[in-house]
A and B are shown apart, each in its own frame.
Chain A
């Protein structure tokens, strides 16, 4: 059974600090997605990583994928309060983006 694990599950960090969220998965896949979810809201797509070594950056967030290690990371640079949300990674096991297996989620709280 495919498992997608994220750590940490909860992250409380001060504004201006850097941190990394890790996403490990247990099967071969070269497609991985990162989503953001605000409380009571739906999922917002952040990054689409489609190959080994893929790196995407948007603002203070940068995501990477190492398919050999079955590991993706979401790096936060100089955190700001607006980044407070829950972040999910999701592995695409069908390669058609029609069946995603989600990680446990990382709840990020950024305080002044």
Chain B
């Protein structure tokens, strides 16, 4: 079974631009979550989508948004980029069952650098 894939793997943008990152979950997984990892703030939850609906949201400004398509693939968008948005963005997928063994599997990440 293929794992979680993310594209692109590396991205360089300048302040004020916007960026779109893509994530394809493991086949059969309907939940996709996004996380931001920075040296200063660590790993922080951005949001989660299930069946094309945002179910959970972290404490990030509205510049950060996402969506999920009918095939469970997800995109996240960051508008008006700031230097502090430079980070590793990780996508994770899960079956999102409420009982039994359930876990998130992470993709390789997209390394975003804002200049």
Contacts and interface: CB of A to CB of B under 8 A. Distances in A.
Secondary structure at the B interface, as helix, strand, loop or mixed, is strand
Given A48-B101, A50-B101, A99 B106 contact: no
B45 A101 contact: yes
Contact of A42 (B42, B56, B107): B107
A26 interface: no
A97 B43 CA distance: 15
Contacts of A35: 106
A42 B97 contact: no
B9 to A, nearest CB: 11
Given A42-B106, A104-B42, A98 B101 contact: no
A95 B101 CA distance: 11
How many chain A residues sit at the interface, stated as a range, is 20 to 34
B40 to A, nearest CB: 11
Contacts of A102: 35, 42-44
A60 B79 CA distance: 44
B48 interface: yes
A98 B108 contact: no
Nearest to B4: A42
A6 to B, nearest CB: 10
Interface string A8-40: 000000000000000000000000010100000
Interface in A97-112: 97-105
B96 interface: yes
Contacts of A96: 31, 94, 96-98, 102
B15 interface: no
A99 B56 contact: yes
